[in-house]
Structure 1
Amino acid sequence: MRRRVRAGTALLAGTAATLAPAVAAQPAHAAANPGQSVYNDYGQSAAEVTVEITTAVNANASVIRARQLLAHDHAVTLYYARAEAIARRAHLLAVASKNATRISQTRTAYYAARARTGHAAAVEKAARAALANTVAVVTAAIRARHYRPVDGTWTGDVAQYFIPDTGLEPVQVRITVYGGHVSDVTAPVYVQTGDSGGYNSSAIPTLLEEAMTAHDTASVAGVTGASETSGAFAQSLKSALVKGGFKF
């Protein structure tokens, strides 16, 4: 078996004479899949997406914990506020009694209660700010994972790999998106002649089948004996998916 050495993520601007001719993508015919990913916003309104994101944010463990802390700190503030109110009433009664000892004692107790309330309120304010920050961070992270595929035909970049004694060889993938999902995958560019043609004649059809069952991702298992072709195929497929609005 010939040893193949991959050339990374280089892209090919042109094609060689040994390349397969460009083939137009097949017409889209698949129906929209109702079981789409929660991150796939195809066919949804902005309001529906917002509800989806809000639901995910509310279920986030960090957000739940931050809300629990705020609820606790708010309860503490209310407790000390009630204690302060009681201390204030006692002090006002002492003032009305004109008893110097009572006035002094109740004033000290009232000021201490007021200080505890102020501290609790400051802690609650910090917890509220922490919650707002947590919600903002989590919301941004969840929103960043959402995507909205665009129906149409999308051609990936030409990816190339290196074959000893031969040089760089290209692979290109084209997808058709219909109903927010990949409905067709073709390979308009790949080497069909020589030793590489022998590998590709079996590898490319297998990779196309894998791409169709990859659930709108570039997760193709690859073909034994054609690992470099498989890697370049996945690279080009991913670029086509990105052009079609999918995220990774």
Structure 2
Amino acid sequence: MQSVLRAIYPPQCLSCRAHVTSEFGLCGTCWRDTPFVAGLCCDQCGMPLPGEDEGTPVHCDDCLDRPRPWLRGRAAMLYAGNGRRIVLSLKHGDRLDVGRAAAEWLARAAAPMLQSDMIVAPIPLHWLRLLRRRYNQAALLSRGVAARTGLAHCPDLLVRPRATRSLDGRGRDERFATLEGALAVHPRRRHLLVGRHVLLVDDVMTSGATFHAGAEACRAAGAAAVSVLALARVAKGS
């Protein structure tokens, strides 16, 4: 039956819809044009850096300038070109199929940070935005990462008690001010993170303000440490 279905509906590239050999993947051209992060990157935010990876943690200027409340961070790709199109198709295009491949890319990017006691959790949406969008793309990604890494998953570890303005077009300082105190640990889930390492997952990291709010909430609730993972990282100057 599977072979019959493939003959009628052959697998398509997640980006351009060209025929491919396996499901939930990219064609050769789209893979080449997708800015996956590889090589040396900032150990706290995943920003690609010039130079060779010699196995010693290095940090970008932004992370040196503004100390992060999390331990380590990674991103699967840059939020540019085909990377941006892939993220937007998941976030606003109801392309839930993208989440399956994205979880594979995220699990690979997260490999240097993973610890056996980690609990994986998404950055939450406010309930009004969730009602409009119908799903939280970060929760789809975090669930996939947890499944592929064998780590515990808590989709409602964090909550967003108040709605915040859109961050599009806002500068770094305004982003941090908008999100200050905007996230909190669910009171019924607090016991799950006490003394454990939390891996927070989101679709895009720009200034790091959202991860900052989430990491601070986790640490205040008793998490031993926090690391962060984004599908895409906005490059400086983008």
TM-score clears 0.5: no
TM (norm. structure 1) is 0.21
With CA pairs under 8 Å and 6+ residues apart, which has the higher RCO, 1 or 2? 1
Greater helix proportion: 1
